[in-house]
Amino acid sequence: MDVKQKKEGLGMTSRRTRNRLVARLREQGISNEKVLDVINEIPRHLFVDEALAHRAYEDTSLPIGFNQTISQPYVVAKMTETLLSGPPKKKILEIGTGSGYQTAVLAELVEKVFSVERISGLVKRARRILGDIGYRNISFKHADGGLGWENQAPFDSIIITASPRTVPESLLNQLADDGSVLAPVGDGDNQELVLFKKTGTEFQKTVMEPVKFVPLLAGTS
């Protein structure tokens, strides 16, 4: 059974509900049809607490325990669309596995995803959910996300799903030539989604829009 069959067999919610979410994302400016198709297919209700499953296809973030949240679908779509713009990406590093939902979206669109999470309970849950759905192109690591995954570098792109005040140099050093880092940079209520594109030893910075993420913390738990 392939991934698509497994997704369709895991408590499919109303197709109309999913279509409504995708229509809203289009209205908000998401134009990459591959990203929209993936958002439409992935069973987001599997990545939230059962008590909140009825809200899984609302365009909102939701708590997932451990003082963490599953990101708003618009933010997931926007970050994915931005990260995948330009030359094809084969190998992506995700800092902050969280619920595993963003991981799943990326895994549908690139050859290999390496995902690092500092909270062991989230790593275990995401590995189980994504494994049950049928993903086989994701590698997980329980570690301090700020350190990245050095022995798997270089990466075509790096996505950070928690907010650092500045992007750690250790992550910038793990980029391939012409690679990019996408991160919600800032502190508290003052965060902006920023894209850093590497050219030689220089980085071009593009500020995109205000966002709200949990902080990127050091260490593990």
**Which positions are catalytic?**
71
For residue 195, give the amino acid letter.
L
DSSP state of 67: T
Residues in a beta bridge with 20: none
- Specify the amino acid at residue 207: V
- Structure token digits, residue 128: 């189980």
Closest CA to 117 of 89, 136, 138, 131: 138
Q: Among the residues of the chain, which ranges form H helices? A: 3-8, 15-27, 33-41, 73-83, 101-109, 120-133, 169-172
Residue written as token pair 């928690």: 162
> Cis before residue 168, ω within 30 degrees of 0?
no
- The alpha carbons of the chain give a radius of gyration, in whole angstroms, of 16
Among 146, 131, 133, residue whose Cα is nearest residue 216: 146
CA distance 95 to 64: 17
